[in-house]
């Protein structure tokens, strides 16, 4: 069929099953927007800043498991999108980003709105393409989707010059893509898997450390089978929240810098770590040289480059988590090796759980933890998606919201992009219209993207925006309190921050301010029931801190705070000899 | 330790930038890099010399493999490969020294490829040690300019590349 490049692009997207594009128009993408104008199959969501097209596509992908698509113009449109792409890159999220480009014959001349976006995004894409021949457009789209969603997922960018969009082509969509240099490994090596099975059942203090890779490979059932079969406690990363139910008796919840004390103690004390779909990020390992000194490490990852990148693995298994876990469970079920007695290990963990539960001070003020806990209680059995800003709000959400299902917690982990929460909620809600989507955000984070309230309003998205408003760049303030002698440099947001209720109303969205702890539950309950866009401005205790906390550079069992009943000067666990030198800096504020 | 990586890549625009960019952003130093098409015009070979310990080498290789345009990587073992580099040296050679310089070049079976009143330009191919030796001998005369292609290498005949 004869058509223009722009039409061929849209047809190709249809062939890939794309249902929605997050985008923003401009000069060189006019032919594409024209092709979209009377398209019936693909919905276009107009964001109000290109960065948010990236984040929305990213969260759409995380919420649905499909590839997210965004479309922007050349030059400033493309450079605005860079943060969105970098975010998807760091968290391995499959998105296809389409950027317009100036006409091929003026590329390289500093033409109007020209930016070398393939050059700029080389380090933050799995691959990118500059299409110079319209006949290669369909196969390029085919390849881009294949690369984005297979193997270790990630963003792929297609840069499309305007003359290519206008050129004519006989459209035929290829059946499959041939990419000679690309062959991900899915099946794990059986010899390694057999060895892993043996080590797992024999270990006395095993732990499973599971992450984003479980969600990417949809391996949550297999993970649960393994844990239950061998009775191994499971800790998840921030990215792995939802890969294993937080409320499961074997769950240790999140580990790492702001993880639970019991997760961090358990991994440090373990004799075997089964790491799956994780990348040993520094927020998790703390000081590398002291990490899990007694443990044998089995590392399952689809990306060979992740294995032994930060911490050497004793038993590497390259493969897809789902396939490897299936084989592993089958191998263990053969029952060749007798299981060790893990009673003492479970008792030890139970005692840590009892001694060091996640908790906060309850004194009548609205503690941010309380808000998250209430959200958690009220949404227990619903289809919920929580998105977050970055900072304290994000960590409280991770600690006090129990993700019991996959794809129910969406947060910016690797890049830590303030402003992710609201566009992520938009992408998630559009991908899963029936889910209750709650953006738990910070007053600083949301100000980076508050223009997206327009997108919420325009699309009547029933998102609940819950701002934990402390009037500070809270996480930075916390570090200044703990490590910079309370010298609060440039973190006070009280002056200049808009009245969020009025701001919401200016966009035609309902806004409510909550200043009384007695109203928290009531207002949230109504918001969940109403199914209408709402912004709730929770005025929380200003100088609340996130605990436990591993000081930067410390070993992960050297945590500040998180001991119930301990006074602030006793924030360090008296049982641990190795106390961080930061301890004396902790002042009596906060709680 | 020095390693010679022989990397087959698709001969497409931007591939060199992808490879060199990967090295710099991951903090790997390239000692030399030579690139050109192979017997198949769609495929280029990059010969990359790096100084890296085993762990680092493993990480470099794995990261390189992730580039979609990279087809194959071999870490050439010096024992089982042949390597060459070509160097052009413009050296001071006033009339009274000229014969000595020519003599030195001849010993190394190097070619004189350009002559002026005061200089000679010498072309030498060979292994790093041979080139170094000539360079050392010519230095006292005053080397005015020097350019090297970077090492190129292939696995020896009977051992098919792995
Ligand atoms: C303020 C702040 C504080 C933070 N604090 C913490 C903290 O306390 N604890 C914490 O855990 N994180 C924390 N993070 C997040 C942290 O920075 C990392 O993003 C996170 O730890 C990485 O999670 P992950 O290891 O699961 O890897 P991901 O980034 O999710 O990567 C997934 C891994 O799985 C692999 N994979 C992908 N697909 C498959 C497949 N099909 N099969 C097998 N493997 C696959 C990938 O190759 C990769 O190695 C924090 C972030 C911020 C912004
Ligand atoms: C785009 C961006 N800029 C700066 C930072 C550094 N940073 C991390 S947390 C934080 C403070 C976040 O403040 P807020 O959104 O109000 O959340 P709170 O910590 O108070 O919950 C800052 C500035 C960042 N992560 N992202």
| Rg (alpha carbons) of chain A, rounded to whole number | 25
Instruction: For chain B, say whether A108 makes contact (Cβ under 8 Å).
Output: no
Instruction: For chain A, say whether B17 makes contact (Cβ under 8 Å).
Output: yes
| Residue A285 scores a pLDDT above 50 | yes
- Chain B residues in contact with A159 by the CB 8 A cut-off are none
Calculate how far, in angstroms, residue A444's C-alpha sits from the geometric centre of ligand 2: 6
**Upper half-sphere CA count for residue A122 (Cβ side, 13 Å):** 21
| Residue B160 scores a pLDDT above 70 | no
The DSSP call for residue A286 is: B
Q: Do A181 and B67 touch (CB under 8 A)?
A: yes
Residue A159 pairs in a beta bridge with A99, A130
Calculate how far, in angstroms, residue A91's C-alpha sits from the geometric centre of ligand 1: 7
User: What is the interface size between A and B, counted as CB pairs within 8 Å?
Assistant: 36
Instruction: For chain A, say whether B14 makes contact (Cβ under 8 Å).
Output: yes
Residue B159 has a pLDDT of 52
Q: Is B48 helix (H, G, I), strand (E, B) or coil?
A: strand
What is the full DSSP assignment across A212-250? HHHHHTT-HHHHHHHHHHHT--EEE-STTTTSS-TTSTT
**Pocket lining: A281 vs ligand 1, CB cutoff 6 Å:** yes
- Beta strand spans in A389-426 (E): 409-410
| Residue A366 scores a pLDDT above 70 | yes
Residue A571 has a pLDDT of 52
Tokens of A524: 């949230």
Q: Give A140 to chain B, closest Cα distance, Å.
A: 13
Q: Do B66 and A303 touch (CB under 8 A)?
A: yes
How far apart CA A164 and CA A170 sit, in angstroms, is 13
CATH of domain B2-76: 3.30.70.260
Model pTM score: 0.95
Who's near A496: CB < 8 A, 6+ residues apart? none
Instruction: For chain B, say whether A288 makes contact (Cβ under 8 Å).
Output: no
Q: Do B62 and A147 touch (CB under 8 A)?
A: no
The DSSP call for residue B118 is: S
- Beta strand spans in A240-354 (E): 251-254, 272-276, 296-301, 315-318
Q: Do A122 and B21 touch (CB under 8 A)?
A: yes
Strand A296-301 vs strand B111-115: parallel, antiparallel, or unpaired? unpaired
What is the full DSSP assignment across A520-564? HHHHHHHHHHHTS-EEEEEE--TT----SEEPTTSBTT-EES--T
Using CA atoms, how far residue A86 sits from A75, A89, A440, A570, in Å, is 17, 5, 22, 40
Residue A105 class from Cβ within 10 Å (0-12 exposed, 13-18 middle, 19+ buried)? exposed
Residue A226 has a pLDDT of 98
What is the number of residues in chain B? 162
| Residue A585 scores a pLDDT above 80 | no
- Beta strand spans in chain B (E): 2-10, 30-37, 43-51, 70-76, 81-92, 111-115, 119-126, 143-148, 152-155
Question: Whose Cα sits closest to atom 13 in ligand 2?
Answer: A473
Do A368-539 and A2-170 fall under one CATH topology?
A: yes
Report the atom number in ligand 1 closest to the C-alpha of A281.
21
User: Contact at 8 Å (CB) between A323 and A188?
Assistant: yes
Q: Which residue of A has its CA nearest to B13?
A: A130
Q: What is the distance in angstroms between the CA of the first residue and the CA of the last residue of chain B? A: 21
**Locate tokens 């009384």: which residue?**
A516
How far apart CA A20 and CA A66 sit, in angstroms, is 11
A54: nearest Cα among A411, A391, A424, A390: A424
Phi, psi of A336 (to 5 degrees): -70, -35
Q: Do B67 and A305 touch (CB under 8 A)?
A: no
- Beta strand spans in A333-433 (E): 384-388, 409-410
How many C-beta atoms surround the C-beta of residue A361 within 10 A? 14
Q: Do B68 and A118 touch (CB under 8 A)?
A: no
Residue A587 has a pLDDT of 34
Calculate how far, in angstroms, residue A399's C-alpha sits from the geometric centre of ligand 1: 16
- Chain A residues in contact with B21 by the CB 8 A cut-off are 122-123
A587: nearest Cα among A489, A473, A478, A493: A478
A220-230 vs A321-333: helix crossing angle, rounded to 10: 30
Phi, psi of A83 (to 5 degrees): -60, -40
| Residue A573 scores a pLDDT above 80 | no
Residue A301 class from Cβ within 10 Å (0-12 exposed, 13-18 middle, 19+ buried)? buried
SS (H, E, C) A66-111: CCEEEEECCCHHHHHHHHHHHHHHHCCCCEEEEEEECCHHHCCCCC
Asked if omega into A554 is within 30° of 0 (cis), the reply is no
How many C-beta atoms surround the C-beta of residue A565 within 10 A? 6
Residue A165 has a pLDDT of 98
Q: Which helix (H) or strand (E) holds A469?
A: strand A464-469
| Residue A520 scores a pLDDT above 50 | yes
Would you place residue A559 in the very low, low, confident or very high pLDDT band (cuts 50, 70, 90)?
very high
Would you place residue A578 in the very low, low, confident or very high pLDDT band (cuts 50, 70, 90)?
very low
Residue A456 has a pLDDT of 98
Instruction: For chain A, say whether B68 makes contact (Cβ under 8 Å).
Output: yes
Q: Which residue of B has its CA nearest to A305?
A: B62
Residue A567 has a pLDDT of 61
Tokens of A21: 């594009």
pLDDT tens digits along A437-448: 999 999 999 999
Q: Which residue ranges does chain B devote to CATH 3.30.70.260?
A: 2-76
Put simply, the chain B residues between 119 and 148 with a CB less than 8 A from any chain A CB are: none
How far apart CA B53 and CA B108 sit, in angstroms, is 33
Residue A442 pairs in a beta bridge with A468
Q: Do A147 and B71 touch (CB under 8 A)?
A: no
Who's near A179: CB < 8 A, 6+ residues apart? A143, A146, A147, B68
Q: Which residue ranges does chain B devote to CATH 3.30.70.1150?
A: 82-153
Q: Is A167 helix (H, G, I), strand (E, B) or coil?
A: coil
Q: Give B69 to chain A, closest Cα distance, Å.
A: 6
Identify which has the larger pLDDT, A336 or A466. A466
Residue B92 has a pLDDT of 96
Tokens of A421: 């929460």
**Pocket lining: A533 vs ligand 1, CB cutoff 6 Å:** no
Tokens of A228: 């239950």
Percent of chain A with pLDDT over 70: 96
The DSSP call for residue B158 is: S
Tokens of A382: 């619903």
Calculate how far, in angstroms, residue B63's C-alpha sits from the geometric centre of ligand 2: 31
Instruction: Provide the mean pLDDT of chain A.
Output: 95
Instruction: For chain A, say whether B58 makes contact (Cβ under 8 Å).
Output: yes
Residue A588 has a pLDDT of 33
Pocket test for ligand 1, best of A216, A226, A262, A546 (most atoms within 8 A of CB): A216
Q: Give B31 to chain A, closest Cα distance, Å.
A: 21
pLDDT tens digits along A47-97: 999 999 999 999 999 999 999 999 999 999 999 999 999 999 999 999 999
| Residue A552 scores a pLDDT above 70 | yes
**Pocket lining: A474 vs ligand 2, CB cutoff 6 Å:** yes
How far apart CA A349 and CA A252 sit, in angstroms, is 9
How far apart CA B56 and CA B26 sit, in angstroms, is 10
User: Contact at 8 Å (CB) between B105 and B89?
Assistant: no
CATH superfamily of A2-170: Thiamin diphosphate (ThDP)-binding fold, Pyr/PP domains (3.40.50.970)
Phi, psi of A517 (to 5 degrees): -60, -30
Instruction: Provide the mean pLDDT of chain B.
Output: 94
Calculate how far, in angstroms, residue A283's C-alpha sits from the geometric centre of ligand 1: 9
How far apart CA A368 and CA A393 sit, in angstroms, is 8
Question: Between 3.30.70.1150, 3.10.20.30, 3.30.420.40, 1.10.287.610, what CATH number should domain B82-153 receive?
Answer: 3.30.70.1150
Residue A407 has a pLDDT of 98
Percent of chain B with pLDDT over 70: 98
Please, which contacts does B56-65 make with residues 24 or more away whose CB atoms are closer than 8 Å? B56/B28, B57/B3, B58/A308, B59/A305, B59/A309, B59/B26, B60/B5, B60/B23, B60/B26, B60/B28, B61/B5, B62/A304, B62/A305, B63/A305, B63/B22, B63/B26, B64/B5, B64/B7, B64/B19, B64/B22, B65/A304, B65/A305
Calculate how far, in angstroms, residue A258's C-alpha sits from the geometric centre of ligand 1: 14
Residue A466 pairs in a beta bridge with A440, A536
Which ranges in A107-247 belong to alpha helices (H)? Answer: 117-121, 137-149, 162-166, 190-202, 212-216, 220-230
Pocket test for ligand 2, best of A55, A283, A390, A393 (most atoms within 8 A of CB): A390
Percent of chain A with pLDDT over 90: 95
Mean pLDDT over B69-87 rounds to 94
How far apart CA A426 and CA A437 sit, in angstroms, is 9
Which ranges in B31-77 belong to alpha helices (H)? Answer: 54-66
Fold classification of A190-355 (topology level): Rossmann fold (3.40.50)
Q: Do A181 and B68 touch (CB under 8 A)?
A: yes
| Residue A224 scores a pLDDT above 80 | yes
Would you place residue A568 in the very low, low, confident or very high pLDDT band (cuts 50, 70, 90)?
low
Would you place residue A261 in the very low, low, confident or very high pLDDT band (cuts 50, 70, 90)?
very high
Ligand nearest to the CA of A62: 1
How far apart CA A313 and CA B62 sit, in angstroms, is 15
pLDDT tens digits along A172-189: 999 999 899 999 999 999
Q: Is B57 helix (H, G, I), strand (E, B) or coil?
A: helix
How far apart CA A383 and CA B162 sit, in angstroms, is 51
Q: Which helix (H) or strand (E) holds A130?
A: strand A127-130
| Residue A140 scores a pLDDT above 50 | yes
The C-alpha torsion from A561 through A562 and A565 to A568, rounded to 10°, is 10
Instruction: For chain A, say whether B106 makes contact (Cβ under 8 Å).
Output: no
Report the atom number in ligand 1 closest to the C-alpha of A210.
26
Task: Report domain extents, chain A.
Answer: 2-170, 190-355, 368-539
Phi, psi of A106 (to 5 degrees): -110, 0
pLDDT tens digits along B11-46: 999 999 999 999 999 999 999 999 999 999 999 999
A276: nearest Cα among A231, A336, A229, A215: A215
**Pocket lining: A306 vs ligand 1, CB cutoff 6 Å:** yes
Question: Whose Cα sits closest to atom 23 in ligand 1?
Answer: A239
What would be the CATH architecture of the domain defined by A368-539?
Answer: 3-Layer(aba) Sandwich (3.40)
Strand A272-276 vs strand A206-210: parallel, antiparallel, or unpaired? parallel
| Residue A30 scores a pLDDT above 90 | yes
């Amino acid at each position: 069929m004869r058509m223009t490049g722009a039409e061929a692009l849209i047809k190709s997207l249809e062939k890939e099953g794309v249902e929605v594009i997050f985008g923003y128009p401009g000069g060189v993408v006019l032919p594409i927007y024209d092709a979209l104008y009377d398209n019936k199959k693909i919905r276009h969501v107009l964001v109000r800043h290109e960065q948010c097209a990236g984040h929305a596509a990213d969260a759409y992908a995380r919420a649905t498991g499909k590839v997210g698509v965004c479309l922007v113009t050349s030059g400033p449109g493309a450079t605005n999108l860079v943060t969105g792409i970098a975010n998807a890159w760091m968290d391995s999220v499959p998105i296809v980003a389409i950027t317009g480009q100036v006409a091929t014959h003026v590329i390289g001349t500093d033409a109007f709105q020209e930016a070398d976006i393939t050059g700029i995004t080389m380090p933050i894409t799995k691959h990118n393409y500059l299409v110079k021949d319209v006949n290669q457009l369909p196969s390029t789209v085919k390849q881009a989707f294949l690369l984005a969603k297979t193997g270790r997922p990630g963003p792929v960018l297609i840069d499309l010059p305007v003359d290519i969009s206008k050129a004519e082509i006989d459209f035929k969509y290829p059946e499959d893509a041939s990419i000679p240099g690309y062959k991900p490994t899915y099946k794990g090596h059986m010899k390694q898997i057999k060895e892993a099975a043996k080590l797992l059942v024999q270990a006395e203090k095993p732990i499973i450390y599971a992450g984003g890779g479980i969600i990417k490979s949809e391996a949550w059932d297999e993970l649960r089978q393994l844990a239950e079969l061998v009775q191994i406690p499971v800790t998840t990363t921030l990215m792995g929240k939802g890969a294993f139910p937080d409320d499961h008796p074997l769950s240790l919840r999140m580990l790492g810098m702001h993880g639970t004390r019991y997760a961090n103690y358990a991994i440090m004390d373990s004799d075997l770590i089964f790491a799956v779909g994780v990348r040993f990020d520094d927020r998790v390992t703390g000081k590398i040289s002291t990490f899990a000194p007694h443990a044998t490490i089995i590392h399952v990852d689809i990306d060979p480059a992740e294995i032994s990148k930060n911490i050497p693995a004793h038993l590497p298994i390259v493969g897809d988590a789902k396939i490897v876990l299936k084989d592993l469970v089958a191998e263990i079920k053969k029952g060749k090796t007798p299981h060790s007695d893990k009673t003492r290990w479970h008792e030890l963990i139970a005692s840590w759980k009892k001694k060091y539960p996640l908790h906060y001070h309850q004194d009548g003020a609205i503690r941010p933890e309380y808000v998250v806990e209430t959200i958690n209680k009220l949404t227990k059995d619903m289809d919920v998606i929580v998105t977050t800003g970055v900072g304290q709000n994000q960590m409280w959400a991770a600690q006090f919201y129990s993700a019991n299902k996959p794809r129910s917690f969406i947060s910016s982990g690797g890049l830590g992009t303030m402003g992710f929460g609201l566009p992520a909620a938009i992408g998630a809600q559009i991908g899963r219209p029936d889910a209750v989507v709650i953006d738990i955000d910070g007053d600083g984070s949301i100000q980076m993207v508050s223009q997206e309230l327009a997108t919420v309003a325009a699309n009547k998205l029933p998102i609940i925006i819950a701002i934990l408003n402390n009037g500070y760049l809270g996480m930075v303030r916390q570090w200044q309190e703990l490590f910079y002698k309370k010298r609060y440099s440039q973190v006070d947001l009280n002056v200049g921050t808009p009245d969020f209720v009025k701001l919401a109303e200016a966009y035609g969205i309902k806004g409510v301010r909550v200043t009384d702890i007695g109203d928290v539950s009531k207002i949230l309950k109504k918001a969940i029931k109403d199914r209408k866009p709402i912004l709730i401005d929770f005025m929380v205790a200003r100088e609340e801190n996130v605990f436990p906390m591993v000081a930067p550079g410390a070993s992960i069992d050297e945590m500040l705070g998180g001991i119930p009943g301990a006074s602030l000067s006793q924030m360090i666990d008296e049982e641990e000899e190795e106390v961080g030198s930061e301890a004396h800096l902790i002042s009596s504020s906060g709680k | 330790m020095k390693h010679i990586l022989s990397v087959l890549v698709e001969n497409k625009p931007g591939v060199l930038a992808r490879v060199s960019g990967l090295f710099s952003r991951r903090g790997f130093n390239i000692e030399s890099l030579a690139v050109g098409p192979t017997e198949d015009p769609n495929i280029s070979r990059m010969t990359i010399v790096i100084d890296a310990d085993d762990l680092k080498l493993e990480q470099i290789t794995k990261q390189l493999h992730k580039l979609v345009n990279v087809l194959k990587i071999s870490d050439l073992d010096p024992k089982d490969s042949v390597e060459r580099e070509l160097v052009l040296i413009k050296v001071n050679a006033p009339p009274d020294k000229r014969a000595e310089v020519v003599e030195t070049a001849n010993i190394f079976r190097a070619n004189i490829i350009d002559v002026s009143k005061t200089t000679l330009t010498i072309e030498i191919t060979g292994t790093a040690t041979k080139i170094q030796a000539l360079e050392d001998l010519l230095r006292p005369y005053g080397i005015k300019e020097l350019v090297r292609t970077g090492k190129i290498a292939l696995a020896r005949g009977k051992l098919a590349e792995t």
